[in-house]
A and B are shown apart, each in its own frame.
Chain A
């Protein structure tokens, strides 16, 4: 029941192959809606973009599919087959066989898959192929940084072209794992650059989840390369604690703690801003849950780490909480001005179990952590009350968030009425 072997198919496939060979700057492929055969080549190559007129697609694909399946031993390249149907695992396997036999080169493969992804940005097989090639290049001592740079570019390109692109973001995480070994510099660079991306893609749950991945690894770091992280962290924490009137300074707090808290605090502040500016985006609220869960876990485990301190002084916490609730109707209180700090412990040495703090220092640290938890609750109450009542979907999300705070995070959160 096969079509007559389409005579032009060979020529068309060769033309496609030639474009790849001759144009290293080729960046895109697409099928162009031209339904009539005007007896000229359907292969278009303009400004580093490859196009194939739609009238020939059926014929070319059936031809190349049959030929590849029947004559696998002939080891043809046939980019055309995968460009038209990138999900065929066996075709990717054939290319890997050619690569193993050195009949194709690795860099060319990376170029080919990048062009393919322009048309099918969520193609899992393309990303799987890139991982395979990258692994081989690593074994051949390729430059890790260069590889990482390229992979991040391609992942971003795909993420830009298809919302919630699972495979693109999963690939990005894989690359950070295998090409950067979670060193602080690349993590911080990604942390900084992804902030702009998520702020302009507020529905993109995958992009936000990537920041969760980054934050998880940043929180595990014992040391950070740059010191301006500490400065930024202090500023974020001060802003976050702006509801607090506590006299305590953060003198005795290890800078590793500051950096960790600062990261979470700054992300919470960013998230608050985005939720209020872009109403009704579930992805933002989901991201917030992650932040709160991480924050709570962090605070709880820090306090458990402190030898001999045990639980917090509950009465103190409820006093703080009540004052926060009172203050919420007054709007944001003035930022604490920078206070002069004495006995600053800026070493960056993480709190070791055997590093004994004096009982005063421990008490101050405990109050500090309590303040943070109180501030966390204050911010939630404020956010929920600031959601506009005319934005129905946002209201639904806010209500659901409130439910989640009490049922899942088990926070004793006061009932909130909304603001105008």
Chain B
């Protein structure tokens, strides 16, 4: 008796072409068509939601379909006395949403909407003596926050405000035997956290600490027979891991270690042909989060109809170029 592997099965009915127009319509309509309950349920991450939608639609070349002024006015109201930015009006500031806000403002080239110095102070105040970062004043430590802090400050051109060496030291202390990274020292390797740690090391130019072959090996083992990628052994494939794993491999210069065609097939199968948008796996309901990562993955995989995306920042490459940023990438 053969054990069934955890994976999905693609069928002929799953979409095979990229339905770009549908996705642009999906994102443009998403903000408006919200019912009260869903609105209240998701408000706590609104700033990131806007970043996902905006980046997705910009990669499709339709930024003009979003309401720029409304978004800028919204962000302005989300920076509080601490200098940090919250997910939405009335919510508390946090590094996650501070980064999302900065990413949005950079894409719109509108940093003047908030007080940049206060943001820098806020981020700096969250660094701990071991180099790690709290997510907010309440003290949770996670390597995701290291990425948020470093990415945010580098986009603002203010990396020197924090102790970069210590920050790197903490992230390296989270490296495991398999070359991967977890949320804290000793924690399990996880593709999302690997992306955050590699992104952080890429921005600070410290990728030489990584065993690229060992980690590349682990990352390419995320690919399943369906072509999709999972985030850890024995988990189901998910389109967002197509981004985190693939972007990580790109940073390591080993993106050719996965089967590109198989992954493209999987990502395309995750589209919802009726409503537009991508879902985590074929047949599920779409959302802006998975839509961004599906499109970004296709961009990394070389689809010419999607604008080039930067694997370190998950932002349009032309925006990163405009800032003069050149995050480190390894090559074989």
Contact = CB atoms under 8 A, between A and B. Distances in A.
Among B3, B41, B189, chain A packs the most CB atoms within 10 A around the CB of B3
B2 interface: yes
B94 interface: yes
A62 B177 contact: no
Interface residues of B: mostly helix, strand, loop or mixed? loop
B233 A62 contact: no
Given A391-B3, A393-B3, A213 B234 contact: no
Contacts of A9: none
Contacts of B44: 85, 87-90
Nearest to A81: B40
Interface in B88-107: 90-92, 94
Contacts of B3: 278-281, 391, 393-394
Interface in A1-29: 1-3
Interface stretch (B57-65, B116-124, B178-186): B178-186
A114 to B, nearest CB: 19
Nearest to B183: A170
A58 interface: yes
A170 B188 contact: yes
Contact of A393 (B2, B43, B91, B94): B2
A393 B188 contact: no
Contacts of A203: 6, 234
B139 A132 contact: yes
Given A132-B138, A170-B182, A283 B233 contact: yes
Interface string A69-81: 1101000000000
A206 B94 CA distance: 28
Interface string B135-172: 01011100000000000000000000000000000000
A93 interface: yes
B138 A62 contact: no
A69 B39 CA distance: 13
B260 interface: no
A65 B43 CA distance: 10
A70 B89 CA distance: 10
B190 interface: yes
A58 B39 CA distance: 11
Contacts of B233: 205, 282-283, 286
Interface string A81-99: 0000101111011001000
A209 B188 contact: yes
A89 B183 contact: no
Interface residues of A, number: 57
Given A89-B92, A206-B188, A290-B177, A96 B138 contact: yes
A413 interface: no
Contacts of A209: 188-189
B92 A90 contact: yes
Contacts of B140: 128, 131-132
Contacts of A283: 233-234
B76 interface: no
A288 B55 CA distance: 41
B148 to A, nearest CB: 14
A99 to B, nearest CB: 11
B186 A216 contact: yes
A173 B186 contact: yes
Interface string B80-91: 000000110011
Contact of A170 (B6, B136, B187): B187
Nearest to B218: A286
B22 interface: no
B213 to A, nearest CB: 8
A240 interface: no
Interface in A393-410: 393-394, 400, 404, 407-408
A127 B239 CA distance: 26
A279 B92 CA distance: 48
A164 interface: yes
Interface of B: 1-6, 36-37, 40-41, 43-45, 86-87, 90-92, 94, 136, 138-140, 177-178, 182-184, 186-190, 214, 217, 221, 232-235
Q: Which 6 residue pairs spanning A and B have beta carbons closest together?
A: A280-B3, A65-B40, A88-B44, A209-B188, A58-B37, A128-B140
